[in-house]
Amino acid sequence: MAQGKVAAIRSDLDIVIARTMARDTAKALGFGAIDQARIATAVSELARNIYLYAGTGSVSVREIERSGRKGIEIICEDQGPGISSIDLVMQDGYSTSRGMGMGLPGAKRLMDEFEIRSIEGQGTTITSRKWRT
Amino acid sequence: MESLRIPILKIENVLIASIQVALHDASAVQFKDDLLQRIYDTKARGLIVDLTAVDVVDSFIGRLISDIAAMAGLMGTRVVITGLQPAVAITLVELGLELPHVLTALNLEKGLAMLRRQVEESGDGAG
Ligand SMILES: Nc1ncnc2c1ncn2[C@@H]1O[C@H](COP(=O)(O)OP(=O)(O)O)[C@@H](O)[C@H]1O
Ligand SMILES: [Mg+2]
């Protein structure tokens, strides 16, 4: 399995760096143009959330394999305030920052698997995967 | 850190801005402010934002584009987005973003033709 890559999120510039890293990795793994755009867009949303709500964190990207299928796994981690109700933040249009509230539900739709683990006061880890068709 | 300014060209009564770099959030907001100021200064009747070179439109940029269109509309300026890549259009819809108030055209040429027609129809005359 190939070595993963990590991008630290500290500023809005790092959002662009993280999504470019994810796109390049997806491309190298053989994902087509539309999946590359889906993956880059999902990472853009999740990295912006880290920047906006936690201040700092990281995005890691790696190749995965499950029962002969190859895919990409993206882990977005922060030690920010955490999310108190995952059901609430997964609703289209819910935002505490007058954003569009489409980042989390949208990223979930763009990826194949999407899991949020969050502890209030400790931080949030979002693991998402997409499988190559 | 200084943000990259996107050049805004004026041809007759239409402004054209082509985004050629990956916009980070601060430069995207700068771009919106620059555009609205140029519309005000030039009284342009139309604005084309060309996204041919843009490979990611997330909810932040999507919101910015619809804000530009809505605000320009209030100033009497029509906005056409051109060159949206198929992968970007598909991703926008899956993300759950519709861009209300935003007209789209396949490319710059078609976008210009669309604006010319609209401006003529609204009786303002071209040029
Ligand atoms: N990493 C995070 N840490 C803490 N809260 C978060 C995080 N990501 C998202 N949230 C919360 O979830 C809400 C919804 O996020 P999202 O769907 O991306 O919409 P938006 O960013 O436009 O508000 C945010 O407004 C915020 O309250
Ligand atoms: Mg968000």
Q: Looking at this predicted complex, what is its ipTM?
A: 0.93
The ligand whose atoms approach the alpha carbon of A76 most closely is 1
B103 or B124: which leads in pLDDT: B103
Q: Give the best residue of A36, A102, A111 to mutate against chain B (max B CB count within 10 A).
A: A102
Contact (CB, 8 A) for A38 and B89:
no
A91 touches chain B (CB under 8 A): no
Strands A123-131 and A113-119: antiparallel
pLDDT at B119: 80
- Cα–Cα dist A46/A103, whole Å: 7
Q: What domains appear along chain B, each with residue ranges and CATH number?
A: 8-121 (3.30.750.24)
Q: Tell me: the pLDDT tens digits for B44-75?
A: 999 999 999 999 999 999 999 999 999 999 99
- In total, chain A counts a number of residues equal to 133
Residue listed under structure tokens 């771009």: B31
- Cα–Cα dist B126/B96, whole Å: 36
Total domains present in chain A: 1
Residue B104 C-alpha, separation from nearest chain A C-alpha, in angstroms? 19
pLDDT at B126: 44
Q: How far is the centre of ligand 2, averaged over its atoms, from the C-alpha of A42 (Å)?
A: 10
Q: How would you list the strands of the sheet with A123-131, edge to edge?
A: A5-9, A57-66, A69-78, A123-131, A113-119
Tokens of B57: 């439109």
> For residue A114, what are the β-bridge partners?
A128
User: Are B58 and A92 in contact (CB < 8 Å)?
Assistant: no
Domain of A88, CATH number, reads 3.30.565.10
**Confidence band (pLDDT; 50, 70, 90) for B124?**
low
Nearest Cα residue to A56 out of A11, A4, A19, A25: A11
Residue listed under structure tokens 């990956």: B22
User: Backbone phi, then psi, for A123, in 5-degree steps?
Assistant: 135, 180
Q: How far is the centre of ligand 1, averaged over its atoms, from the C-alpha of A10 (Å)?
A: 16
- Cα–Cα dist A40/B56, whole Å: 7
Q: Tell me: the pLDDT tens digits for A100-129?
A: 999 999 999 999 999 999 999 999 999 999
- Full residue range of the structural domain in which residue A17 is found: 5-131
| Contacting residues for A49 by C-beta, under 8 A, at least 6 apart | A76, A103, A104
| Contacting residues for A8 by C-beta, under 8 A, at least 6 apart | A14, A56, A57, A58
pLDDT at B3: 58
How many angstroms separate the Cα of B24 from the Cα of each of A17, A65, A121, B61, B103? Answer: 10, 33, 28, 9, 24
**Confidence band (pLDDT; 50, 70, 90) for A9?**
very high
AA letter at A7: A
User: Are A13 and B62 in contact (CB < 8 Å)?
Assistant: no
Across B67-118, the runs of DSSP E, i.e. the strands, are 78-82, 103-105
Nearest Cα residue to B72 out of B123, B126, B118, B127: B118
**Rounded to two decimals, what is the model's pTM?**
0.95
